[in-house]
């Protein structure tokens, strides 16, 4: 029995050794340092496309931050008002007018959502179509709640130009002001990078591709090669779908973390973050209950079993469990540090994983009840 217990306790330890040593170094926090200026060349034209639905509280800041970019090229912002009822369009226009940059903003009233499209992708596609008339060198696909520091766009373009990348994405800094955010947001990014290791995303030898929807700089030609956004029109996890399509078509893709852009959206409660996770979790599992069961089992063995084994009363199992928990904390510590939290937060990953497991189950239940992918009144992941 003691031998079986030791073998069981060794499983999470072996998993964490694999994750630390053979999962693309995802845990090292690939940061997007502001690069030195790109070699001289023609000034680049960038059009930023912001899909917005009831975002009056935050869109003025996002638009203003884009129009204040210290960028050698030109910047034009297109806001696609996706049926807002709170004055989103007026807030965007007021922000541009306040900077004397009204000519650098276009506000489009989104057309009715056609069958087969997710709301965000339909709004984005209208913005991309309108941007074509401006003949941009790059499109910046960003969200209404993203504040860009003045040098952020220059850093994105320099990255793409210097390395000839077709898509450059930054995982922006998410808020960690509330207790719920401090508990769950760093783990959200940690789990994302575990699924999509940035080193594998950048490598042409790996099929892995991913992006963060809050900030994607992409060449229009790369979107054209995949057949436009229509090619991914029904995808709920649209950022990764776009990166996957661009890479599959031979494009170069890159993803990293940055302090140069941050989300101004606040998640005040655990329930609020739980709904955010639940919106896409079961879609990520391809609506497979077998994958759901496997995922829950993997979460249990990887994160919760080491804690439970500490109460086994079996010294070898306890030692192995402590070693697994130590490796888990070592892996999580860089992400905790990136978000400016004390190192002790790295010990909390088992409890956080349990919360994410619950949110994943909730996602499956919502899908089964016909409320999958619920976002601002829209069901975007319905059973067929």
CATH number, domain containing residue 156: 3.90.550.10
* Last residue of one domain, picked from the residues 268, 300, 335: 268
Q: What pLDDT is stored for residue 74 in this prediction?
A: 94
Asked whether residue 177 is assigned to any structural domain, the reply reads yes
| Residue 93, SS3 per DSSP | helix
Q: What pLDDT is stored for residue 38 in this prediction?
A: 45
Asked whether residue 2 is assigned to any structural domain, the reply reads no
∠ Cα 75 80 82 (to 5°) = 160
Q: Does one domain contain both 302 and 364?
A: yes
Q: Does one domain contain both 339 and 236?
A: no
Residue with tokens 């739980």: 274
Q: What pLDDT is stored for residue 41 in this prediction?
A: 53
Domain count, the chain: 2
pLDDT, tens digit (0-9, with 9 covering 90-100), for 229-256: 999 999 999 999 999 999 999 999 999 9
Residue with tokens 């129009």: 67
Tokens at residue 342, please? 């004390």
* Last residue of one domain, picked from the residues 268, 300, 332: 268
Question: What are the two backbone dihedrals, phi and then psi, of residue 368, each rounded to the nearest 5 degrees?
Answer: -65, -30
* Ranges of the chain with pLDDT below 50: 1, 34-40
Q: Does one domain contain both 98 and 241?
A: yes
| Residue 249, SS3 per DSSP | coil
State the CB neighbour count (10 A cutoff) for residue 383.
Answer: 11
Structural domain range at position 15:
9-26+271-368
pTM reported for the whole predicted model: 0.93
Asked whether residue 253 is assigned to any structural domain, the reply reads yes
With 0-12 / 13-18 / 19 or more C-beta atoms within 10 angstroms meaning exposed / middle / buried, residue 276 is middle
Q: What pLDDT is stored for residue 30 in this prediction?
A: 66
Nearest by Cα to 207 from 156, 163, 162, 251? 251
Contact 134, 50 (CB under 8 A): no
| Residue 363, SS3 per DSSP | helix
């Amino acid at each position: 029995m003691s031998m079986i217990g030791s073998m069981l306790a060794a499983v999470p330890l072996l998993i964490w050794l694999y994750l630390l040593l053979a999962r693309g170094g995802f845990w090292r926090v690939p940061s997007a340092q502001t690069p030195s200026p790109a070699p001289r060349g023609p000034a680049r034209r960038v059009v930023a496309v912001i899909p917005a639905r009831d975002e009056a509280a935050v869109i003025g800041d996002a638009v203003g931050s884009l129009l204040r970019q210290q960028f050698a090229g030109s910047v034009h912002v297109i806001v696609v008002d996706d049926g807002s009822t709170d004055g989103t369009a007026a807030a965007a226009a007021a922000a541009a007018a306040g900077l004397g940059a009204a000519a650098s903003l276009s506000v489009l009233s989104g057309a009715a959502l056609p069958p087969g499209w997710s709301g965000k992708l339909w709004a984005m596609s209208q913005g991309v179509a309108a941007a074509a008339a401006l003949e941009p060198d790059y499109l910046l696909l960003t969200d209404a709640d993203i504040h860009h520091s003045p040098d952020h766009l220059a850093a994105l373009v320099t990255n793409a130009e210097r390395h000839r990348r077709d898509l450059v994405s930054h995982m922006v800094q998410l808020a960690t002001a509330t207790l719920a955010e401090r508990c769950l947001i760093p783990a959200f990014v940690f789990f994302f990078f575990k699924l999509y290791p940035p080193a594998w995303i950048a490598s042409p030898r790996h099929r892995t591709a991913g992006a963060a929807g809050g900030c994607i700089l992409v060449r229009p030609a790369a979107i054209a090669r995949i057949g436009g956004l229509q090619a991914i029109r029904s995808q709920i996890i649209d950022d990764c779908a776009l990166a996957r399509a661009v890479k599959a078509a031979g494009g170069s893709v890159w993803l990293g973390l940055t302090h140069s852009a941050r989300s101004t959206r606040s998640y005040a409660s655990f329930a609020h973050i739980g709904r955010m996770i639940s919106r896409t979790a079961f879609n990520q599992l391809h609506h497979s209950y077998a994958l759901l069961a496997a995922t829950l089992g993997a979460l249990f063995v990887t994160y919760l079993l080491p804690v439970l084994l500490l109460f086994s009363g079996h010294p070898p199992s306890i030692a192995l469990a402590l070693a697994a928990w130590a490796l888990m904390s070592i892996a999580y510590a860089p992400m905790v540090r990136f978000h400016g939290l004390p190192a002790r937060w790295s010990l909390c990953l088992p409890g956080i994983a349990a919360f994410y497991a619950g949110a994943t189950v909730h996602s499956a239940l919502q899908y089964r009840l016909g409320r999958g992918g619920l976002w601002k009144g829209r069901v975007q992941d319905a059973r067929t």
